[in-house]
Amino acid sequence: MLARVLSGDFPRSRALAVALVVILVGLALAPFIVPGTRSLTVAAKVCVFVLLVASYDLLLGYTGIVSFAHTMFFGIGGYGVGIAMARMDSTWGALAIGVLVSLALSAVIALAIGLLSLRVRAIFFAMITLAVAAFFQILASQLSGITGGEDGINFKLPEALRPATSFFEATFFGVAVNGRLVSYYLVFAVALAFFLVLLRVVNSPFGRVLLSIRENEFRSEALGYRTVTYRTVANCLGALGATVAGILYAIWLRYTGPDTTLSFNIMIDILLMVVIGGMGTMYGSVIGATLFVVAQNYLQDLMKFASNAAQGVPLLPNLLHPDRWLLWLGLLFIVCVYYFPAGIVGKLRAAKEKP
């Protein structure tokens, strides 16, 4: 049963398996383990970014496609839901329309980009996707009557997903059963389901062809595979995964805007998560996204504690000042790249294979 769920792709490392189980259990029980609003938001963001990074790893790690348009599809998902819910009634029907329209739009754009651009060399394709993503970001900022411009869109969700909605007067293990709890488990369940779908894709015959194209495109062509077709399909699947992640993020925040979904900084973060976790390993997206999002949200607090504890030691309190958290995050990334060139998952698997 477990082999079918994981599509036969086991962690192949005891340490990795333990880490994945801890993350899965932690996310599944997050409302009960860390019931605070901030902690629950971090857990929801981890779920969203695991899916987002996994969908990008399908392109970069498994197919060798370098795309800078991934945040565009992330934004399409967020704006699709946001515009539908803001312009229509806050009903499940409006939510369904927003989801379907955003998925259809992403599929069409990804198909067009794939068919028109994937024949060129990798660096030129990367530049094309960067230009398209920049155009979409400008468009979202300028069409303020539709997208809310730089301010973005605040919207209401169906009543069952609203934090103020309470289903029972009594609590369940000390946690109120309300719309916020339902929203979190919706995000968790959908992200987990789509991650398992992507895991199945990369472990299917289709996924093996993608790996073949990544390693040697000319040989794959010689074997009879239409590489442009396979890469285009992979581009569409990756785009749909990013769109679903954008939808989930918008549902959780009840807001969407340029800074939350379309910022190029998010694209950089995705690249860092892929590299830290390990390219070409779906489990790398789980490790990379979890470490990065947790560090991004709690490293500053940890440094504040360390800075206060180091009072009286020359230079150290200033060096550990919370305002310098980005410096230390950058150093942590350099250390990860230096000691784990194949990513954390690659390092753990390589250590397991040594005699």
List the CATH number of the domain containing 242: 1.10.3470
pLDDT of residue 310: 78
Domain count, the chain: 1
What does the DSSP assignment read for 162-220? STT-BS-SS-BTTB--BHHHHHHHHHHHHHHHHHHHHHHHHTSHHHHHHHHHHH-HHHH
pLDDT of residue 354: 56
> 310-352, pLDDT tens digit by residue?
777 777 788 888 888 788 878 878 887 788 888 899 888 887 6
Residue 355 has pLDDT above 60, yes or no: no
The domain containing residue 8 runs over which residues? 2-353
Average model confidence (pLDDT) across the chain: 88
pLDDT of residue 7: 80
pLDDT of residue 317: 80
Whether 274 and 56 have beta carbons less than 8 Å apart is answered as yes
What does the DSSP assignment read for 342-354? THHHHHHHHHHH-
253-257 LR contacts (CB < 8 Å, sep 24+) = 254/154, 254/155, 254/156, 254/157, 255/82, 255/152, 255/153, 255/154, 255/155, 256/75, 256/78, 256/79, 256/81, 256/82, 256/152, 256/153, 256/155, 257/148, 257/150, 257/151, 257/152, 257/153
250 pLDDT tier (thresholds 50, 70, 90): very high
- For the segment 236-248, the average pLDDT, to the nearest whole number, is 96
Cα distances from 15 to residues 120, 196, 232, 269, in angstroms, run 41, 21, 35, 25
Looking at the chain, the whole-number percentage of residues with pLDDT higher than 90 is 46
List CB contacts of 132: < 8 A, sequence separation 6 or more. 69, 72, 109, 113
226 pLDDT tier (thresholds 50, 70, 90): confident
pLDDT of residue 21: 95
List CB contacts of 25: < 8 A, sequence separation 6 or more. none
Task: Choose between 323 and 290: higher pLDDT.
Answer: 290
- For the segment 89-113, the average pLDDT, to the nearest whole number, is 93
pLDDT of residue 24: 95
- For the segment 200-211, the average pLDDT, to the nearest whole number, is 92
Cα distances from 32 to residues 29, 166, 314, 321, in angstroms, run 5, 17, 41, 32
- For the segment 239-248, the average pLDDT, to the nearest whole number, is 96
> 271-285, pLDDT tens digit by residue?
989 989 999 889 999
Q: Phi then psi for 212, rounded to 5 degrees?
A: -65, -40
Residue 196 has pLDDT above 90, yes or no: yes
* Cα–Cα distance, 288 to 278 (Å, whole number): 8
User: CA nearest 109: which of 83, 76, 63?
Assistant: 76
Residue 160 has pLDDT above 60, yes or no: yes
- For the segment 56-73, the average pLDDT, to the nearest whole number, is 91
Looking at the chain, the whole-number percentage of residues with pLDDT higher than 70 is 97
Residue 144 has pLDDT above 60, yes or no: yes
- For the segment 79-90, the average pLDDT, to the nearest whole number, is 91
Q: Phi then psi for 59, rounded to 5 degrees?
A: -80, -55
Residue 173 has pLDDT above 80, yes or no: no
- For the segment 111-118, the average pLDDT, to the nearest whole number, is 82
pLDDT of residue 109: 94
pLDDT of residue 38: 87
Residue 120 has pLDDT above 80, yes or no: no
* Cα–Cα distance, 248 to 225 (Å, whole number): 35
